[in-house]
Amino acid sequence: MEGINEKEEAQKGSSPAELGKWAEIQDTLKKRVITVDDFPWRLASQSESEPQQQQLKYVGGVDVSFSKEEPSMACGSLVVLDLLHDLRLVYQEYTCLSLDIPYIPGFLAFREVLMVDGNGLLHPRGFGLASHLGVIANIPTIGVGKNLHHVDGLTQSGVRKLLEAEENKAKGIITLRGNSGFIWGAAMRSEQGSLKPVFVSVGHRVSLETAIEIVNMTCKFRVPEPIRQADIRSREHL
């Protein structure tokens, strides 16, 4: 299946009443999303405009893995890496549990509440897991998805063609502008020679420009290192 078709997947999961309730919650919380930089730190590439601003030092990643033998068993993992010291691991934590809510793309926050390996604004209702987590916890978040939601005319094949266009090959990144003109995020090939992009979008309190820069700073492979390390550790404990 190319990308994610939310309607088809939702039909396999919970009842229409449950889906409607979840959508209502998302629409309510979406009003609180902040799409510009709103944090007390700065990146290394930014000038020190305020004396009290310190450089961003730590980047956290959260992910959830599921047992192949028992799909209801999941393990959530949190890692924190030191951005100023070659992404050195400085903290890790995990928890395993049994889940009774089925997986439904577009409603990840209702099952995998610790994941940042998901979308922010790049979502059918403009409020994916990264935004949900950011608003609830009131922390800056970035959405990094491995798959693309089919929204506002955006498709996996269309994105691939744009990335392979001569004018975009060297950059390895394109802005995801839908048919409506709205910018949902960006598709970027974060690893040299990678054929599969990751999809970066605003979660909460971080602009798209800053989100892209932080993803670039934390990529050793296709997936940003905080999320990759969280994924590795969550799988180890299943």
Same domain, 107 and 172: no
- Residue 183 belongs to a domain: yes
- Residue 195 belongs to a domain: yes
pLDDT tens, the chain, 238 aa long = 345 544 444 444 567 888 888 889 989 999 999 999 998 888 877 766 665 678 899 999 988 888 888 878 888 899 999 999 999 999 999 999 887 765 555 554 443 364 578 899 999 999 998 999 899 988 889 999 999 999 999 999 999 999 988 888 888 899 999 999 999 999 999 877 677 899 999 999 999 999 999 999 999 999 999 999 999 998 888 7
- SS3 track for 208-234: HHHHHHHHHHCCCCCCCHHHHHHHHHH
Same domain, 169 and 121: yes
Q: Could you tell me the strand order of the sheet in which 88-98 lies?
A: 58-66, 73-82, 88-98
Domain boundary at 93, 111, 129, which? 111
Same domain, 80 and 140: no
